[in-house]
Amino acid sequence: MDVSTASQSGAPAPGQLTFVAPRRAKPARHLADLTMAERRAAVAELGEKPFRADQLSRHYFEKLNGDPRLMTDLPAAAREKFATALFPTLLTSVREMTTDAGTTRKTLWRLFDGALVESVLMRYTDRTTMCVSSQAGCGMNCPFCATGQAGLTRNMTTAEIVEQVVAGARALAANQVPGGPGRVSNVVFMGMGEPLANYKAVVGAVRRMVEPAPEGLGISARGITVSTVGLVPAIGKLADEGLPVTLALSLHAPDDELRDTLVPINTRWKVAEVLDAAWDYAARTKRRVSIEYALIKDINDQEWRADLLGKLIKNKLVHVNLIPLNPTPGSKWTASRPEDERAFVRRLEFHGVPVTVRDTRGREIDGACGQLAAAE
């Protein structure tokens, strides 16, 4: 893949499509970065019995304990060694905001190098979803997205991604979220970053999430959604992984003329090619593709565009998720009028396309990806 590298500031030049993160120091290795075999090898390198890796894994993934100093079934002399070598601090909470009577919690995290990322916990009556970031910033340069306008700082590691979910799981287990003790049932890669531009770390994180304890968190793969703006080769690669996760395609326009502007990667892979990759993914995984479509006032919310979208995707294994745009301060982009939103829904339903309008949780707490980081 012919890719361009972002400047050291992280901000792409106008019109630049940035796939590769700037070279920066990497965070220290964490237990969650490793497969079980790699954990046993790492423990053996520390002079300890390999079965200690199973104990460490059970503490972290099942009991949600990330401090070996508190793991009393480990030899006292080994605890500090494990803490230093396998449990570095990856995320430090900078700011947390809540809404929806405390059932929606957005956290701004500082990474070891000062980079800022965001995650959101959303508790519903039947599930709890964690929305996680996969990159600090984003290089896709979509003009209506706060993260896209910030540019790409760096890729996150597998463990940095997993730790966002573990942090949410800890809050639920400790009864810190209204509704009683609970667990994370769903994860959506819809926070900061383009997940498929950080492919290896994202797939590693998904594997940590779906593997049963003590190897991982034991979340159903069907409860995990990986979004993309349409990196066609990576979509095909993801289909080869044998992970039945939902693919969410951030389309935002059904015609190339507009999508070239809203989603600049469209100048590389056009709507038809991106949709073909999505249909291939659905056929190979038997998983329904989610079409993400942010409704933007007077930009992409016309009824004729709804008709065009409906014609492109009808009779496919697909669902459309319409997203009322969460406007960022000072932006010219804003949410569609309610009547235009309703008309868009009606036109898609006319074509027999399943469609829902996303719950607009988090608007009161700078819910759009990147807003807290930009404010900080």
Q: Is 153 helix (H, G, I), strand (E, B) or coil?
A: strand
Does 145 show up as a binding residue in the annotation?
Answer: yes
Q: Which long-range contacts (CB under 8 A, 24 or more apart) does 45-53 make?
A: 46/78, 46/81, 46/82, 46/85, 48/75, 48/78, 48/81, 48/82, 52/78, 52/82
Residue located via tokens 């919310």: 301
3-class SS shares of the chain: helix, strand, coil, % to 5: 40, 20, 40
Does 220 show up as a binding residue in the annotation?
Answer: no
Token pair of 136, please? 């600090």
Choosing from 48, 118, 211, 292, the catalytic residue is 118
Compute the distance between CA of residue 265 and CA of residue 194 in angstroms, rounded to an integer.
Answer: 11
Compute the distance between CA of residue 282 and CA of residue 148 in angstroms, rounded to an integer.
Answer: 27
Choosing from 48, 160, 211, 369, the catalytic residue is 369
At residue 70, φ and ψ (nearest 5 deg) are: -100, 5
Does 142 show up as a binding residue in the annotation?
Answer: yes
Does 138 show up as a binding residue in the annotation?
Answer: yes
Token pair of 98, please? 């809540």
Q: Is 369 in the active site? A: yes
Does 326 show up as a binding residue in the annotation?
Answer: yes
Q: Is 131 in the active site? A: no
Does 215 show up as a binding residue in the annotation?
Answer: no
The answer for residues whose C-beta is within 8 angstroms of residue 324's C-beta and 6 or more apart is 294, 295, 335, 336, 341, 357, 358, 360
Task: List residues forming the annotated binding site for [4Fe-4S] cluster.
Answer: 138, 142, 145
Active site residues: 118, 369
Task: List residues forming the annotated binding site for S-adenosyl-L-methionine.
Answer: 193-194, 227, 250-252, 326
Task: List residues forming the annotated binding site.
Answer: 138, 142, 145, 193-194, 227, 250-252, 326
